[in-house]
Amino acid sequence: MKLLSKLTLFITLSKLLIVVLFVLLLPSLVGYVSFQYSNYYLRQQKQKVLSEIKQNGIDYYLQGDSAYASYTMLKEEYISILPAENEMVRDTIETSKRVVGGDTLTYRILTHELTGAPKNYILEIGKTTSTIGEYNNLLQRFTLYILIGLIALSIVVDLIYTNILIRPLTKIVKTKLLNRKFPFKEPLSPIKTSTTDFQILDRSLIDLMEKIHEAFDKEREFTSNASHELMTPISILQSNVENLMMEEDISDEMQDKISAMMRTLNRLKKIVNSLLYISRIENDQFAKSDTVNVHELITEMMEELSYRLETKSIQFTNTVSKNVKIRQVNHDLFFQMLYNLVNNAIRYNKENGTITLSDQYIRGKRYRLFIIDSGAGIKPEEMGTIFNRFKKSGKADSEGYGLGLSIVKSITLFLGFEIKVSSEYGKGTVFSIEIPQEKVEI
Amino acid sequence: MKTLIIEDERSLAREIKLFLEKAFYLCDSAYNVAEAKKLMIDNEYDFILLDLGLPDGDGLELLDETKKMCPSASYIILTARGDLEDRIKGLDLGADDYLPKPFSLLELQSRMQAITRRKSGNNDPVMELGDFSIDLNKRTVYFEEKEIELSRKEFDLLSYMILHKNRPLTRLQLSEHIWGNFSDDDYDSNFIDVHIKNIRKKMSALAPVDWLQTLRGIGYKIKI
């Protein structure tokens, strides 16, 4: 999952959690608030009555009667002043039922004892709980709407900000990590961001890639120089040995030894030549301006290889479509790539084995070439290293020097192909070469 | 055939000279541009073997100059640089062939011979080989007017061996000539045996082929 998706999910879920929690808490919260408010309201009313009484005396209410009571038109509130009974009444606020004007209603009631001559009175101020409830609902709904509005706004703001914040990272991943092809030849430019962490990450990646590129360059240069420097001495040695071989009156034993020297020398020559070839590919010394017909190229190649097939009685099949052409490649390199693969397929094949070259084209998607053999296969533990230089499937020393597949790998990299291998040990191997759409012509 | 070897590695120049003289070429050696120029003023050469990396100048520049001084000579570039660009440049400047180091002396001689044949308008005499005759131009082998069918590689092999007759040739040298860059070491050496076996089979049906000798453990030799 992408970081942005994760953050978006987290932000949305956390806000949702807040909303749910708030909705759950809201009734009791609002209940508490309105409860406190009605208590406060009742006390306010009490203060008003008390100050009236203080100013005008209790008769202002009683008007000569022994008690006073009054209520609003809809009986939401009432006030009563009654003579106190014997027992003491404390200053309390409680919820209880009263009969007002013939109706029994539940009120929140403040009770207060008025002390004074000639006798004590009890003041009651009440407010129906249903009015308090009405407030509650209204308050709840209102708060909820505002909350949802605010949350929605904050989600939008959060997402926009996160998006902007994360954007440099997305860019780093896209330009520096995805689709980057070893050995990172194209120069890299730093990404604009004010986030220090991203700056550090970006800088480190650029440095790392530059270092890799540099190391690769050095290795390439070394291989190229070393191989060149080796060519002259090898050349001298070879001429020496060849001349020696032609001397007259050499014993058979000497001939054998000279011939062995020549073989070793040849081995050395092959290695140096292959290394040089690889370094030439890596140094972009081949043009990519040829168009090759794959089927024809394979036919041409098999002329060189048919003897090898015959000696092992291997059955060769070429089912590659006859009209497929690959553009912007190098003919010789393409040839060498397939040659090395097929040559290996013969080399590691068994008597009466099979080799099949086929292709698969999915329009608008990809073109793939397959080299399928019934040979020795590759051990799972060797799969990872078969393209490395000087690795070979543990066979006799005389069979190749492990550079054939490295050359293939270098060529595929150079031509922009992708090579994959799958194999079952003892059963056979399939190499598949994926060629980019834009190079395929059908 | 007069040949000038321009090569700054003295020991290599010496070996080339030794080899070519055995094949009846007359050779001079020059180890740098100055010496080469001096020799070219005084002599006329059929072949100029030119190393590209010389101590006092670039071989390609020398080639450009000397093409005017010795226009009739055939030029073969010998180089360890082996860059594709150099090769194209060299051939553009009028070199007849290009041999990357390390090369086989046998291969050098065969290239020189091919150039001679090309320049002389393919007028090689038909060669006698035991009871057979071989026409290098038509690439055919005859036995008393009757044509023997050899494959392309078999004929290549036979003609290479005839060119280097009376010399022991290893399987390696033969496979390198036949497959060039694609030669595959010991692996291919075995195919040389297959080819030779085929040649023997096809020819010995008509007449003895005791001129084609097997050198056990080494290779083959045509003895005439």
- Contact of B168 with chain A, judged by CB distance below 8 Å, is answered with yes
- What is the homologous superfamily of the domain B2-119 according to CATH? Response regulator (3.40.50.2300)
Mean predicted lDDT score pLDDT of chain A? 86
CA–CA min distance A242, chain B (Å) = 7
pLDDT for A78-93, tens place per residue? 898 888 776 666 778 8
Select from A235, A255, A270 the Cβ nearest to the Cβ of B80.
Answer: A235
Give how far Cα A52 sits from Cα of A57, A60, A398, Å. Answer: 7, 8, 121
Mean pLDDT of A133-143: 80
Q: What is the pLDDT of residue B86?
A: 74
A198, pLDDT greater than 80:
yes
Q: Are B22 and A246 in contact (CB < 8 Å)?
A: yes
Q: What is the pLDDT of residues B5-50, one digit of tens each?
A: 999 899 999 999 999 998 889 999 999 999 998 998 888 899 999 9
| DSSP-derived pairing of the beta strands B26-30 and B2-6 | parallel
> CB A311 to CB B18 under 8 A?
no
Give chain B positions within 8 Å (CB) of A339.
182
How many contacts (CB atoms, under 8 Å) link A and B?
A: 105
- A196-282 CATH, one of 2.40.110.10, 1.10.10.10, 1.10.287.130, 1.10.1040.10: 1.10.287.130
pLDDT digits (tens, 9 = 90+) for B154-184: 898 998 898 888 888 888 888 888 877 666 6
On chain B, the residues whose CB falls within 8 A of the CB of A266 are 172, 176, 185
Chain A positions in Cβ-Cβ contact with residue B106 (cut-off 8 Å)? 242
Residue pLDDT, tens place only, A159-196: 899 889 888 888 888 888 887 766 677 777 888 888 89
B195 vs A contacts (CB less than 8 Å)? 307
pLDDT (average), residues A49-58: 86
The domain spans of chain A are 3-144, 196-282, 290-441
CA distance B187 to chain A (A): 7
Which residues of chain A does B12 touch, with a Cβ-Cβ cutoff of 8 Å?
A: 232, 235-236, 239
Do B173 and A239 lie within an 8 Å CB cutoff? no
Residue B142 — left, alpha, or beta (φ > 0 → left; ψ -120 to 50 → alpha)?
beta
Answer whether A267 sits within 8 Å of B191, measured CB to CB. no
Instruction: Give the sign of the dihedral formed by CA A227, CA A228, CA A233, CA A239.
Output: positive
For the record, the structure tokens of A317 come out as 């099949």
Q: Taking CB atoms and an 8 Å limit, are A235 and B102 in contact across chains?
A: yes
pLDDT digits (tens, 9 = 90+) for A334-367: 999 999 999 889 888 999 999 999 999 888 788 9
**CA nearest to B165 within chain A:** A246
What average pLDDT does chain B have? 85
More confident residue, B202 or B68: B202
Interface test with A, best of B10, B15, B193 (most A CBs within 10 A): B15
| Chain A residues whose beta carbon lies within 8 Å of the beta carbon of residue B105 | 238-239, 242-243
What percentage of chain B carries pLDDT values higher than 90? 24
Name the pairing type of β-strands A103-114 and A121-128.
antiparallel
Cross-chain CB nearest to A239 (options B19, B100, B219): B19
User: Which residues on B lie below 8 Å from A234 (Cβ)?
Assistant: 101-102
Beta bridge pairs of residue A368: A360, A434
What is the CATH architecture of A290-441? 2-Layer Sandwich (3.30)
Considering only CB atoms, A243 lies closest to which of B18, B182, B187, namely: B18
**What pLDDT was estimated at residue B188?**
66
pLDDT at residue B178 in the model:
82
Contact by Cβ (8 Å): A105, A128: yes
End-to-end, the C-alpha distance of chain A in Å comes to 38
Residue A303 tokens, joined: 């002329």
Split at pLDDT 50, 70, 90, the class of A381 is confident
Q: Phi and psi dihedrals of A421, rounded to 5?
A: -135, 140
pLDDT of residue A396: 44
Q: CA of A247: which chain B residue's CA is closest?
A: B167
Best of B104, B161, B190, B197 to disrupt the A interface (most A CBs within 10 Å) is B104
Is the separation of the CB atoms in B126 and B139 below 8 Å? no
CA A204 vs CA A169, A180, A209, B106: distances in Å: 13, 16, 8, 56
In the sheet with A77-83, reading across from the earlier edge strand, the strands are A68-71, A77-83, A121-128, A103-114, A92-100
CB nearest A239 (choices: B16, B194, B195): B16
Over residues A277-310, the pLDDT tens digits come to 888 888 887 888 899 999 999 998 898 888 788 8
Give kind and range of the element (H or E) at residue A60. helix A59-62
* Inter-chain residue contact B167 with A240, CB threshold 8 Å: no
CB-based burial label for B36 (10 Å; 0-12, 13-18, 19+): buried
In chain B, where the domains are located: 2-119, 127-222
Considering only residues A285 and B189, tell me which one the structure prediction assigns the higher pLDDT: A285
Alpha helices in B70-218 (DSSP H): 84-92, 105-119, 152-163, 171-179, 185-204
B23 reaches A (C-beta below 8 A): no
Nearest CA in chain A to B221: A246
pLDDT at A397 over 60: no
CATH architecture of B127-222: Orthogonal Bundle (1.10)
Show the CA angle centred on residue A397, arms to residues A393 and A401, nearest 5°. 70
- Searching chain B, which residue's CA lies closest to the CA of residue A276? B82
A345: chain B residues, CB-CB within 8 Å: none
Measure A301 CA to nearest chain B CA, in Å: 11
Among the partner-chain residues B15, B172, B176, the one whose CB lies closest to the CB of A240 is B15
The H or E element spanning position A222 is: helix A196-245
Contact A285 B19 (CB under 8 A): no
Q: Which two tokens stand for residue A356?
A: 């099949």
Peptide bond into B208 cis (omega under 30): no
- Model pLDDT, residue A398: 42
Q: What is the pLDDT of residues B74-124, one digit of tens each?
A: 999 988 766 667 777 888 888 899 888 888 898 999 999 889 888 877 666
CA distance B19 to chain A (A): 6
Angle at which helix A3-56 crosses helix A129-172, to 10 degrees, equals 150
Share of chain B above pLDDT 70, in %: 93
- Structure confidence at residue A87 (pLDDT): 65
- Note whether B187 contacts A347, CB cutoff 8 Å: yes
Look up the pTM and report it.
Answer: 0.66
Which residues of A fall within a CB distance of 8 Å from B11?
236, 240
Task: Kindly determine whether residue B185 and residue A266, on different chains, have CB atoms separated by under 8 Å.
Answer: yes
CB contacts, 8 Å: A256 with chain B: 217-218
Q: Which CA distances in Å does A193 have to A74, A159, A199, B210?
A: 67, 18, 7, 84
Q: Which of A411, A399, A346, A392 is nearest to A373 (CA)?
A: A346
User: A266 and B176 in contact by Cβ < 8 A?
Assistant: yes
Tell me, yes or no, if B180 comes closer than 8 A to chain A by beta carbon: no
Q: Please judge whether B18 and A259 are an interchain contact, meaning their C-beta atoms are less than 8 angstroms apart.
A: no
Q: Do B105 and A243 touch (CB under 8 A)?
A: yes
Give the mean pLDDT of A408-430.
Answer: 92
Question: Does ipTM surpass 0.90 in this model?
Answer: no
